[in-house]
């Protein structure tokens, strides 16, 4: 992604956003990310976009649920890294169940894993996509994933963890 996308993210209006799951997500800007939909459609064909924006986190801040699934936010997610930093996006397998994803309506699996989101010992990392400014990834939103390491970095907008995120379903 070009530097202009990073600059647009740094200029965005960030809020602590109350999500539909009852969690409050720190520093989210629900805005159109310039060029992100076009980049996704270049890879996936036409899509129905469910939402996009930016997320900015600083040193020591941890996610609401360390390991999670974005099930219910379309069939796919896209992340574009807009900063340099340690780690990236990790994908996980739940040790007790062997599950690497959770599909809508799988209440039995949800009940088995719902207390394990923040306990890394209950999970095995299967893959990590390293954070490099300008790199993007697209994955099925039902897959278990996290930022890794869980704690963000930086002390402010110029050196914090900045990403663009989009949730969509191919047509």
How confident is the prediction for the chain on average, in pLDDT?
Answer: 94
SS3 call for 163: strand
> What percentage of residues in the chain have a pLDDT greater than 70?
99
Burial degree of 111 (CB within 10 A; 0-12, 13-18, 19+): exposed
Kindly report the number of other CB atoms within 10 A of residue 71's CB atom.
19
Contacts 24+ apart (CB under 8 A), 9-15: 9/33, 9/54, 9/56, 9/82, 9/162, 9/164, 10/157, 10/158, 10/162, 12/53, 12/54, 14/54, 14/56
Compute CA 59 distance to the chain's CA centroid, rounded to the nearest angstrom. Answer: 17
pTM: 0.93
pLDDT digits (tens, 9 = 90+) for 5-45: 999 999 999 999 998 878 889 999 999 999 999 999 999 99
Is the peptide bond prior to 149 cis by the omega test (within 30 degrees of 0)?
A: yes
Q: Binning pLDDT at 50, 70 and 90, where does residue 60 land?
A: confident
Query: Closest by alpha carbon to 79, among 54, 48, 43?
Result: 54
pLDDT band at 92 (very low <50, low <70, confident <90, very high): very high
Distance CA 51, CA 65 (A): 20
Residues contacting residue 107 through CB under 8 Å, at least 6 positions apart? none
Handedness of CA 135, 48, 126, 91 (dihedral sign): positive
Domain 3-170 is in which class? mainly beta
Question: What pLDDT is recorded for position 20?
Answer: 80
Alpha-carbon span 145 to 89, nearest angstrom? 7
Q: What is the pLDDT of residue 16?
A: 94
Give the model's confidence band at 1: pLDDT under 50 very low, under 70 low, under 90 confident, else very high. Answer: low
Check residue 62 and give its pLDDT: 87
Q: Average pLDDT, stretch 61-66? A: 86
Q: Which pLDDT does position 171 carry in this prediction? A: 95
Q: Which tokens sit at 22? A: 């009852």
């Amino acid at each position: 992604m070009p530097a202009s996308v990073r600059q647009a993210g740094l200029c965005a209006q960030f809020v602590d956003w109350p999500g539909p799951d009852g969690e409050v997500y720190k520093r989210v800007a629900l805005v159109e990310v310039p060029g992100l939909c076009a980049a996704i459609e270049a890879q996936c064909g036409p899509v129905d976009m469910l939402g996009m924006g930016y997320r900015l986190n600083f040193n020591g801040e941890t996610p609401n649920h360390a390991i999670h699934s974005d099930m219910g936010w379309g069939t796919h997610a896209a992340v574009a890294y807009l900063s340099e930093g340690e780690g990236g996006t990790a994908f996980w397998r739940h040790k007790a169940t062997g599950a690497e994803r959770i599909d809508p309506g799988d209440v039995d699996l949800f009940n088995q894993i719902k207390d394990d989101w923040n306990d890394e010992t209950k999970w095995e990392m299967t893959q990590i996509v390293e954070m490099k400014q300008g790199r993007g990834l697209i994955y099925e939103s039902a897959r278990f994933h996290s930022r890794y390491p869980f704690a963000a970095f930086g002390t402010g907008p110029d050196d914090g963890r900045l990403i663009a995120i989009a949730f969509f379903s191919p047509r």
